[in-house]
């Protein structure tokens, strides 16, 4: 007899404690042996996830509690990875919405909750981080209820169960005044409030592929929920492709989830989430079904991309010096491979054979792809991100974002002024504790391109900025997002301290002495609106009286560090970011008449 099953997703705004809470559930379920060293954020297995402290890919795990198998799906909190959230919500029958006791609902909370409500799920609300000094759990619950009403939740959904927890300390409780030392109340809430999975064992097999994985031994692995029927290792099955064609094959391996491991199964029934090997060309959204009575499930629909970039072969003077994969065929093959697992991505041919138009959910979504590719050894260049316009009733529409800023009081005026210049409309302003103010805006997605760098300067690094896609609205007119020109290298060579010190008053540099540069490479930001060419390779004339060691004990201003995200935000329409495994460089597309010095 198979175990009772509960399938539940963990959803929340980025950094509200999803992965830490899952850590506590795993630790208290007994999956780790005594004395075993347990890392933090065990579900964030991807290198970039650990570096950035965010979840990028949805992950499956399973724990046993009171003879019930609880399948848990940890989802990303950032709206740029909404495609991951949308597809996995079809696998589950309930969800746990985590909200920070201090911050309350944030832009991505609205996004993930909206998707859950649309699927008809009834969330369990967990107010997390209640042991923090600034925590205001009652206010957080009130704001969550207001958000449910605003998003059109029905009466059952509005009558949500609330728990109070600290993922870091590893406890949850039904009421604030209760005493608790473990996660037992959350386990009990999952058993009582998440319905058992629907599905008929007697019907023909139906499993929808929601995630893809790869193993060197098993090849492509399909992960999904068995909607109907029974699945056995070694049985014959059919894969119904997106275009309606049917591929017949054999289930070479059937795996279930147990803690962080995958365990081999002989058989699994409707309702369970499993991993299946045996079909080399499976794609997300397709249906694994019975070969005698093939019946497809509805394809997974995700929101369309809102931002696009042009990827192209690197044609700078330093092309091919640092990358392993540099040709258009290699770049195209890698992008096509990404399409198989990244459902929110679109790739189309560009204006020339060595260009590709890549569309995604936002700068972070595309930035993670670019960073992953460069770490794999790819070398290429990308153009300025462009928002994707739509035509509605013959009128051009553009994407708008819902933006929330948490800033020090002294920065409020500057933030309002800058966002006003970018066509932002302020919706709300609330003064919080410790002299901080929360501002809410609706702003065109175009207006946010390049704003993060401005925002960090205005708030001196103390501001918090969150935004998510709101809707398409009529075009808001022209707007200027960069006010200064750039400093461009005049010739190829190596930058010198002498030349850079003499030109220090011209602006802020992005490079340090000893950096290899080429003609047309962007090396800094000019103080004036025009672009400026500078010779930063000029060396000091040495004589018998002026030796090389005779440098004054002076220092250059610290350069402005150009990370990948900062570079993508910064570049203009006639500029490119050159991406290699070793370097991030900015450059002009082609030479034009510039001011010289």
Contact predicate 74/167, CB 8 Å: no
Q: 230, 270, 227, 233: which is closest to 250 by C-alpha?
A: 233
pLDDT of residue 329: 93
Binding site as annotated, residues: 15-20, 128-131
Q: For residues 543 and 403, give the distance between their C-alpha atoms in angstroms, rounded to a whole number.
A: 59
Q: What are the structure tokens assigned to 586, written together?
A: 């900015």
What distance lies between CA 114 and its chain's CA centroid? 18
So what's the pLDDT on residue 544? 56
Domains of the chain, earliest start first? 5-193 (3.40.50.300), 206-289 (2.40.30.10), 307-387 (3.30.70.870), 390-474 (3.30.70.240), 486-596 (2.40.50.250)
**Can you tell me the distance from the alpha carbon of 289 to that of 204, in angstroms, rounded to the nearest whole number?**
7
**CB within 8 Å of 120: residues ≥ 6 apart:** none
What pLDDT was estimated at residue 402? 86
User: 556-574: b or e for each residue (b if 16 or more CB lie within 10 Å)?
Assistant: eeebbebebbbbbbbbbee
Q: List, for the chain, all residue ranges whose pLDDT scores fall below the cut of 70.
A: 1-2, 29-59, 77-84, 302-303, 432-434, 480-481, 542-554, 591-597
What's 245-265 look like in SS3?
CEEEEECCEEEEEEECEEEEC
The strand pair at 5-12 and 94-100 is best described as parallel
- Of residues 284, 150, 148, the one with CA closest to residue 222: 284
Residue 563 structure tokens: 């990370």
Distance, in Å, from the CA atom of 110 to the CA atom of 486, rounded to the nearest integer, reads 38
Q: Do residues 249 and 276 lie in contact, with contact meaning Cβ atoms separated by under 8 Å?
A: no
* pLDDT for the residue numbered 334: 92
Measured distance CA(316)–CA(337) in Å, rounded: 26
- The string of pLDDT tens digits covering residues 127-142 is 988 888 888 888 889 9
| Rg of the chain (C-alpha set) | 27
**Termini Cα distance of the chain:** 82
The Cα 190–Cα 25 span in angstroms is: 12
Q: What is the rounded distance in angstroms from the CA atom of residue 370 to the CA atom of residue 358?
A: 11
pLDDT of residue 77: 56
DSSP class of 488: E
Query: Which contiguous run of DSSP H or E holds residue 427?
Result: strand 425-431
312 bridge partner residues: 355, 381
DSSP state of 304: P
Residues 6+ apart with CB under 8 A from 208: 90, 91, 224, 225, 227, 285, 286, 287, 288, 297, 300
- The pLDDT value recorded for residue 335 is 92
Q: Among residues 581, 586, 557, 556, which one has the least CA distance to residue 569?
A: 586
CB 11 within 8 A of CB 97: yes
pLDDT, tens only, 361-392? 777 788 888 988 999 999 999 998 888 888 88
Q: What is the pLDDT of residue 40?
A: 46
Q: What does the chain come to in residues?
A: 597
Strands 493-494 and 516-517: antiparallel
Q: Decide if 8 contacts 186 (C-beta within 8 A).
A: no
User: What's the CA gap between 474 and 49, in Å, rounded?
Assistant: 36
**Residues 6 or more apart whose Cβ sits within 8 Å of residue 289:** 204, 205, 206, 207, 237, 238, 239, 240, 295, 296
Helix (H, G, I), strand (E, B) or coil at 382: strand
Q: pLDDT at position 311, please?
A: 93
Q: Which residues fall within 8 angstroms of residue 151, CB to CB, at 6 or more apart?
A: 110, 113, 114, 117
Cα–Cα distance, 257 to 249 (Å, whole number): 23
What pLDDT was estimated at residue 30?
A: 63
Largest CA distance in the chain: 96
| Binding site listing for GTP | 15-20, 128-131
What secondary structure does DSSP assign to 515-580, as a single string?
-EE-TTEEEEEESSSS-EEE-TT--PPP-SSS-TT---S--PPPPPP--HHHHHHH--TTEEEEE-
Token pair, residue 111, equals 């996004």
- Asked if residue 517 lies in contact with residue 537, where contact means CB atoms within 8 angstroms, the answer is yes
- The bridge status of strand 261-264 relative to strand 253-258 is antiparallel
The span from the CA of 68 to the CA of 5, in Å, is: 6
């Amino acid at each position: 007899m198979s175990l009772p099953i509960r399938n539940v997703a963990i959803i929340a705004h980025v950094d509200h404690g999803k992965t830490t809470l899952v850590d506590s559930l795993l630790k208290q379920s007994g999956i780790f042996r005594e004395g075993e060293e347990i890392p933090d954020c065990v579900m964030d297995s991807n290198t970039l996830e650990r570096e950035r402290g965010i979840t990028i890919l949805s992950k499956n795990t399973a724990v046993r509690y009171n003879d019930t198998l609880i399948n848990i799906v940890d989802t990303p909190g950032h709206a740029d990875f909404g495609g991951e959230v949308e597809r996995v919500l079809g696998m589950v029958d309930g969800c746990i919405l985590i909200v920070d006791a201090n911050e309350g609902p944030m832009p991505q909370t609205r996004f993930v909750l909206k998707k859950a409500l649309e699927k008809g799920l009834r969330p369990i609300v967990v107010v997390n981080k209640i042991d923090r000094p600034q925590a205001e759990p009652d206010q957080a619950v009130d704001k969550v209820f207001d958000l449910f009403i605003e998003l059109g939740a029905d009466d059952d959904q509005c009558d949500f169960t609330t728990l109070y927890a600290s993922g870091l300390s590893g406890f949850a409780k039904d009421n604030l005044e209760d005493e608790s030392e473990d996660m037992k109340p959350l386990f009990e809430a999952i058993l009582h409030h998440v319905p058992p999975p629907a599905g008929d064992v007697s019907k023909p097999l139906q499993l929808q592929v929601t995630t893809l994985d790869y193993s060197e031994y098993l090849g492509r692995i399909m992960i999904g929920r068995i909607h109907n029927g029974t699945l056995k290792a070694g049985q014959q099955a059919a894969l119904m492709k997106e275009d309606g064609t049917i591929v017949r094959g054999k289930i070479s391996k059937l795996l279930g989830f147990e803690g962080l491991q995958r365990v081999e199964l002989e058989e699994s029934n409707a309702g369970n989430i499993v991993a299946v090997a045996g079909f080399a060309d499976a794609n997300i959204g397709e249906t694994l079904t019975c070969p005698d009575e093939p019946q497809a499930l509805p394809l997974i629909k995700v929101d369309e991309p809102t931002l696009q970039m042009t990827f192209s072969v690197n044609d700078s003077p330093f092309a091919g010096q640092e990358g392993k994969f540099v040709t258009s065929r290699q770049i195209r093959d890698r992008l096509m491979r990404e399409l198989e697992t990244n459902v929110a991505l679109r790739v189309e041919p560009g204006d020339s054979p060595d260009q590709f138009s890549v569309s995604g959910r936002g700068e972070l979504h595309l930035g993670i792809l670019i960073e992953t590719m460069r770490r794999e050894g790819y070398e290429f260049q990308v153009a300025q991100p462009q928002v994707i316009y739509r035509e509605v009733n013959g009128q051009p529409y553009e994407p708008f974002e819902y933006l929330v800023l948490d800033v020090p009081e002294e920065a409020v005026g500057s933030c309002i002024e800058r966002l006003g210049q970018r066509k932002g409309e302020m919706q709300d302003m609330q003064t919080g504790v410790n002299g901080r103010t929360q501002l809410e805006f609706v702003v065109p997605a175009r207006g946010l391109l390049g704003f993060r760098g401005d925002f960090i300067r205005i708030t001196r690094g103390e501001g918090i900025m969150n935004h998510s896609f709101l809707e398409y609205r009529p075009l808001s007119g022209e707007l200027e997002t960069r006010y200064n020109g750039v400093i461009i290298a005049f010739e190829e060579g190596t930058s010198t301290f002498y030349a850079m010190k003499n030109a220090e008053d011209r602006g802020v540099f992005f490079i340090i002495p000893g950096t290899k540069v080429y003609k047309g490479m962007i090396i800094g930001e000019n103080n004036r609106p025009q672009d400026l060419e500078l010779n930063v390779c000029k060396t000091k004339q040495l004589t018998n009286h002026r030796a090389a060691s005779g440098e004054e004990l002076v220092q250059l201003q610290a350069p402005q560090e150009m990370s990948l995200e900062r570079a993508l935000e910064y570049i203009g329409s006639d500029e490119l970011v050159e991406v290699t495994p070793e370097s991030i460089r900015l450059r002009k597309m082609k030479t034009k008449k510039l001011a010289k010095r």
